[in-house]
Amino acid sequence: MANRRSALAFLAATPFLTGTGQSPSWRSIGDLGSDVYGTWENRATGVVVNVSSRGINISHRLDEFWIQDPGLVPSFSLYAMQGETLQLMQYDYRAAPILMQAPVTLTRTQLAPPATLLSQADTLPSRTVFNLICRSFDRYYPFFTERRVDWSSVGRAAETTVQDDVSLFDALAGMLRLLGDGHVNLSRGERTFNAGRSVLRDRLTQEWRASGSLGTEGAFVSNWAQSIKASAISVLDQGTYRSGANDALEWGCIGKVGYLRINRFSGFAAGAAPRHAQIAALGQALLESEKSFTNTTHLIVDVVQNGGGNDAAALFIANHFADRHRNAVTYQCKGVSDQAVYLDPIRPYPRLITLLTSEITASAAEIFVLMMRACSHVRHAGEATRGILSSMLPKPFPNGFMATMAYQRVFGAEGKLFEPIGIPPTFDVQLFPHGDLVKAYPLSIRRLAEAANSVS
């Protein structure tokens, strides 16, 4: 159900450097000099960038295994070099380079790519590919202990069933299913598999079957999601409803209480608008919402149906609501130093905030929840989040296979890890209790607003 961060959005999956050290001096990628020539590797992801007079070549490395990047890593516009560290940026925002994006950070390595790189189109024995994929998860995936999976034992048993690429896909899907991780995907041609498990989605599946509907399960779930969204908007005072940022934000008032619904952390402008247009649309929507909240003393921020998007967008919006400069989130990846993310608002937000979540709240939306929870004027209500906070790391393999996996351990300001259990609210509010997938949610919003109005 989650609108998870795209595996292609590699930059969004890179730990932020916000608030740490001095800003580097960014230069156009067209100005690459011989001092940058050589091989650079991101140790957290195994992405290797080789720079020469012929340009930039990107590959993925796992020990002796190298494979050409098929386009998972975007092209770059800017670079900055500090000693043995190279940073690459996708979009050229020279006035403010870190604008809804984060740099890819690489260190120089003496390794050199082989003369001929493998590609996804190349064919290797099925068991060789099986071992490559299993080793990649063993190298980068950080949650086997938390998800209670003995990866080595499971792999030894599954390998005996691999005879060809069809049975290879089946064996891998069976292993990955044990993880129950919505950021774990496997694909080959038209075959796809997602390892995620959702209690709420299972309940909706049961409702669909019991309804006798002639429509598809997907259509049933989509109609339910739209009806839930409409039910929340119906609680608002007449004439106060507004929307902005390509309907990513919707808002209004309930008495002296403002209500802001954040539907996603991406797609803030229509179509394939460039990143600066996206951020401009988002900033304008936040300003417009504040005009509507002029006479309010309290704000409900609703990310109940927000399945994610871009961590940088989550940081941008969290900064709008923050009270002061503070550490909010820390990213931890194998092979690199921890990276802290800081909130740094222009001015303290003037209202008390109730943050509302559910099991649907996932991925970048959970990063937003951690950032908001760091602030003293925010209380967290609703249901626990999904528990898939890491971004997705995409990896290509021969025989046409591709996998994505979580690779970051994300800690809140208090140093706690919430994957895979989800982020529990401070105040439990059952939005979708058993036997009621429709009525409790808007009623809960109304009751939260009434409680806030009573003390305004």
Which pLDDT does position 11 carry in this prediction? 35
Cα–Cα distances (Å) from 41 to 62, 83, 111, 273, 313, in that order, read 11, 14, 9, 31, 26
Buried b or exposed e, range 194-232, using 16+ CB within 10 angstroms:
bbbebebbeebeeebeeeeeeeeeeebbeeeeeebbebb
pLDDT band at residue 16 under the 50/70/90 scheme: very low
3-state helix, strand, coil in the chain (%, to 5): 30, 25, 45
Which of these ranges, 172-176, 198-202, 248-252, has the smallest mean pLDDT? Answer: 198-202
The residues spanned by each domain of the chain are 29-118, 126-194, 199-387+422-454
| pLDDT digits 0-9 by tens, 22-75 | 567 888 998 888 999 999 999 999 999 999 988 899 999 999 999 999 999 888
**By mean pLDDT, which of 10-14, 96-100, 289-293 is the weakest?**
10-14
The alpha carbon torsion through 174, 177, 183, 189 (nearest 10 deg) reads 30
In the predicted structure, residue 179 carries a pLDDT above the cut 70: yes
- Asked whether residue 261 carries a pLDDT value surpassing 70, the answer given is yes
For the cut 80, the answer to whether the pLDDT of residue 290 exceeds it is yes
Distance CA 76, CA 61 (A): 20
For residue 456, the model assigns a pLDDT of: 64
| Confidence category of residue 273, pLDDT binned at 50, 70, 90 | confident
Q: Residue 211 pLDDT > 50, yes or no?
A: yes
How many degrees, rounded to 5, is the angle at CA 212 between CA 208 and CA 216? 55
Question: Where residue 271 falls among pLDDT bands split at 50, 70, 90?
Answer: confident
Cα gap 297→295, rounded to integer Å: 7
Q: What is the model's pLDDT at position 17?
A: 38
Q: Which residues contact 102 (CB under 8 A, 6 or more apart)?
A: 11, 12, 14, 15, 16, 17, 18, 311, 312
Identify the weakest region by mean pLDDT among 10-19, 347-356, 357-366: 10-19
Helix and strand totals (H; E) in the chain: 9, 22
pLDDT class for 10, splitting at 50, 70, 90? very low
- pLDDT interval class at 93 (50, 70, 90): low
Per-residue pLDDT for 7 more than 80? no
pLDDT over 90 for what percent of the chain?
A: 78
pLDDT band at 98 (very low <50, low <70, confident <90, very high): low
Per-residue pLDDT at 25: 85
Beta-bridge partner residues of 191: 188
pLDDT value of position 351: 97
* Average pLDDT taken over every residue of the chain: 91
Q: What is the DSSP letter of 51?
A: E
Predicted confidence (pLDDT) per residue in 413-434, tens digit: 999 999 999 999 999 999 999 9
Residue closest to 301 by CA, chosen among 249, 343, 339, 242: 249
Task: Please name the CATH architecture into which domain 199-387+422-454 falls.
Answer: Alpha-Beta Complex (3.90)
178 pLDDT band, cuts 50/70/90, is very high
Distance in angstroms (rounded) separating the CA atoms of residues 138 and 266: 31
Mean of the pLDDT values across residues 386-410? 97
Q: What is the DSSP string of 377-440?
A: TEEEEES---S--SPEEEEE-GGGEEEEEE--EEEETTS-B-TTT----SEE--SS-TT-SSSH
Quick one: pLDDT at residue 1? Answer: 39
pLDDT over 90 at 8, yes or no: no
Q: Are the beta carbons of 387 and 147 closer than 8 angstroms?
A: no
SS3 445: helix
- pLDDT for 336: 86
pLDDT at 92 over 80: no
As its CATH architecture, domain 29-118 has Beta Barrel (2.40)
pLDDT band for position 137 (cuts 50, 70, 90)? very high
Give the model's pLDDT for residue 23: 67
Tell me whether the CATH fold assigned to 29-118 matches the one assigned to 199-387+422-454.
no
Q: Is the pLDDT of residue 280 over 70?
A: yes
Q: What is the pLDDT of residue 97?
A: 54
Tell me: pLDDT of 323 over 50: yes
What pLDDT sits at residue 96? 61
Q: How confident is the model at residue 94 (pLDDT cuts 50, 70, 90)?
A: low
